[in-house]
């Protein structure tokens, strides 16, 4: 039987939380994943306007390395969604299925904790955890592909074959949007005489240090990257109304590919080590992923069926590199997708010259610009999770969508209460 209520879908990113009903085209709520703690009452404050209304409070994070670590307060983030999702009107969590996204390297302990909060604190009737790269690839209408996700705190490379993540060949690093922010901040401070308050509106000069960091990151740095870097401005206006020059040398996206290229004050950037993928920039991360996949798929030289397996491997690689999905908010940076695909082309021509690869990127970049492309990169995980969640509402009696969804992705509260942790470990592994 189909569910009549649309699922609530929440995509907790390190930078922003995207949330809305699965029946919607775009998330109705996009707000900072950070939260503040009221200095007087100790209550938790969620929401951009709410945090900025009291700059004296400390601002804190919920995620690290792309994973939720602060489960004591993530519930306030989810409750904020239920209180505001319907045009800033509250809904009852007990009446709507809930879908959350998760990174492919999430832990079983985290999954169990999230499920416990969903069923025991929020009391949702049905719940699912959807892998972010699976949702992104599903949104692109593909089951096989190489998902390159450049987000705020993490850059990840995930090969997916026939809907199955190849976990041993999945790699990620912290050289992502926040790392670019460090370089942008260093430049802005050098141009504004190293005075942090020059990067803040006057009403926030007395704010806590953590609030200042939060505001600069979510407003000034983001604004600089989206305007100065993407639109090639000659000058950029700071909040104190002074202007600083913007030159070609400030294309800090290069740091994603070569993290050690530019030094940062008081920041130690480790030299890349072959057996430590997290120490590498984006191009090498992709290369290590492909080499790992090659090692796991290629047959031994003494294998009697090696010729057939080699042919199969060639087809897999060809399909994988013909379906490259470049996504994540930071991937909207000017010229970044083209730089990634050019590096992949050069890399495969050098190391895999025997294979007749073709290259295609989804979504296709249009020369005139396309707002749908921007939304796909920024909200792809949320929209893909919505596509999966919408299967619960399929009222076509001839369709097996509801059964497929329940069998593969969702857990009901009744099943959770009966089967407990073992069911969660098996369903969301």
Distance CA 131, CA 66 (A): 12
Contact 59, 36 (CB under 8 A): yes
Tell me the mean pLDDT in the region 273-288: 94
pLDDT at 358: 58
Tell me the mean pLDDT in the region 256-264: 92
pLDDT at 258: 93
Contact 252, 183 (CB under 8 A): yes
pLDDT at 348: 84
Whether domain 8-139+381-427 has CATH 3.30.420.40: the reply is: yes
How many CB atoms lie under 10 A from the CB of residue 87? Answer: 6
Kindly report, residue by residue over 317-364, the tens digit of the pLDDT.
888 888 999 999 998 887 888 899 889 888 888 887 766 555 555 544
Strand 98-102 to strand 8-12: parallel, antiparallel, or no bridges (unpaired)? Answer: parallel
pLDDT at 357: 56
pLDDT at 366: 36
Dihedral, CA atoms, 291, 292, 298, 302, nearest 10 degrees?
A: 100
pLDDT at 243: 84
Closest CA to 74 of 18, 35, 16: 35
Contact 428, 129 (CB under 8 A): yes
Indicate the helix (H) or strand (E) that contains 309: helix 306-321
Tell me the mean pLDDT in the region 197-220: 93
pLDDT at 193: 72
- Asked whether the domain spanning 145-175+272-362 has the same topology as the one spanning 8-139+381-427, the reply is yes
pLDDT at 421: 86
Res. 313 pLDDT band, cuts 50 70 90: confident
Q: Which of 3-7, 151-155, 245-249, 265-269 is predicted least confidently?
A: 245-249
* CA distances in angstroms from 389 to 161, 162, 384, 386, listed in the order given: 22, 20, 9, 5
pLDDT at 393: 77
User: Is the preceding peptide bond at 363 cis, omega within 30 degrees of 0?
Assistant: yes
Kindly report, residue by residue over 375-423, the tens digit of the pLDDT.
888 999 999 999 999 888 776 655 666 677 676 789 999 999 998 888 8
Tell me the mean pLDDT in the region 76-82: 98
Tell me the mean pLDDT in the region 206-225: 93
Q: Share the mean pLDDT of the chain.
A: 87
pLDDT at 365: 41
Q: Which of 158-162, 245-249, 291-295, 307-311 is predicted least confidently?
A: 245-249
pLDDT at 225: 83
pLDDT at 427: 85
- Using CB atoms within 10 Å of the CB of residue 48, give its burial: 0 to 12 exposed, 13 to 18 middle, 19+ buried: middle
Q: Which of 113-117, 169-173, 234-238, 283-287 is predicted least confidently?
A: 234-238
Whether the per-residue pLDDT at 66 is higher than 80: the answer is yes
Instruction: Kindly list the domain boundaries of the chain, sorted by start residue.
Output: 8-139+381-427, 145-175+272-362, 177-246
Domain 145-175+272-362 class, CATH top level: alpha beta
pLDDT at 269: 92
Distance CA 104, CA 46 (A): 26
pLDDT at 241: 83
89: Cβ contacts below 8 Å, ≥ 6 apart: none
> Among residues of the chain, what percentage have pLDDT more than 90?
58
Bridge partner list, 150: 155
Tell me the mean pLDDT in the region 181-196: 83
pLDDT at 29: 97
Tell me the mean pLDDT in the region 79-98: 96
Kindly report, residue by residue over 90-109, the tens digit of the pLDDT.
999 999 999 999 999 999 99
pLDDT at 204: 94
Q: Which of 3-7, 31-35, 216-220 is predicted least confidently?
A: 3-7
Q: Which of 47-51, 216-220, 303-307, 328-332 is predicted least confidently?
A: 303-307
């Amino acid at each position: 039987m189909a569910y009549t209520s649309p699922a609530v879908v929440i995509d907790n990113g390190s930078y922003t939380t995207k949330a809305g009903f699965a029946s919607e085209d775009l998330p109705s709520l996009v707000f900072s994943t950070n939260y503040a703690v009221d200095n007087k009452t100790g209550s938790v404050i969620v929401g951009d306007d709410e945090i900025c209304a009291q700059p004296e409070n400390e601002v804190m994070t919920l995620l690290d390395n792309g994973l939720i670590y602060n489960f004591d307060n993530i519930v306030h983030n989810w409750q904020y969604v239920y209180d505001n999702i319907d045009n800033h009107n509250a809904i009852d969590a007990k009446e709507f299925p809930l879908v959350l996204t998760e990174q492919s390297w999430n832990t079983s302990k985290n999954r169990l904790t999230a499920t416990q909060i969903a069923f025991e604190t929020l009391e949702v009737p049905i719940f699912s955890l959807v892998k972010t790269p699976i949702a992104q690839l599903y949104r692109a209408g593909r089951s096989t592909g190489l998902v390159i996700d450049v987000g705020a705190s993490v850059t990840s490379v995930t090969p997916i074959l026939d809907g199955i993540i190849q976990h041993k060949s999945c790699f990620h690093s912290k050289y992502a949007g926040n790392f670019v922010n460090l370089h942008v901040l260093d430049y802005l401070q050098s141009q504004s005489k190293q005075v942090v308050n020059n990067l803040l509106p006057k009403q926030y000069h007395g704010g806590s240090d953590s609030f200042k960091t939060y505001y600069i990151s979510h407003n000034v740095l983001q604004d600089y990257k989206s305007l100065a870097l993407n639109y090639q401005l000659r000058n950029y206006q700071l909040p104190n109304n002074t202007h600083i020059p913007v030159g070609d040398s400030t294309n800090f996206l290069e740091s994603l590919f070569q993290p050690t290229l530019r030094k940062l004050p008081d920041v130690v950037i480790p030299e890349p080590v072959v057996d430590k993928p997290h120490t590498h920039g984006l191009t090498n991360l992709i290369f290590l992923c492909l080499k790992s996949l090659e090692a796991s798929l290629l047959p031994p030289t003494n294998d009697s069926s090696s010729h057939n397996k080699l042919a199969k491997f060639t087809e897999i690689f060809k399909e994988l590199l013909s379906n490259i999905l470049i996504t994540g908010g930071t991937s909207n940076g000017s010229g970044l997708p083209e730089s990634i695909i050019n590096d992949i082309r050069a890399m495969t021509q050098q190391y895999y010259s025997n294979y007749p690869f073709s290259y295609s990127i989804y979504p296709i970049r249009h020369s005139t610009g396309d707002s749908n492309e921007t939304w796909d990169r920024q909200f792809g995980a949320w929209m893909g999770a919505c596509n999966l969640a919408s299967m619960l509402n399929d009222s076509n009696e001839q369709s097996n969508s509801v059964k497929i969804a329940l069998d593969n992705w969702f857990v009901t509260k009744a099943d959770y209460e009966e089967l407990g942790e073992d069911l969660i470990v098996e369903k969301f592994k």
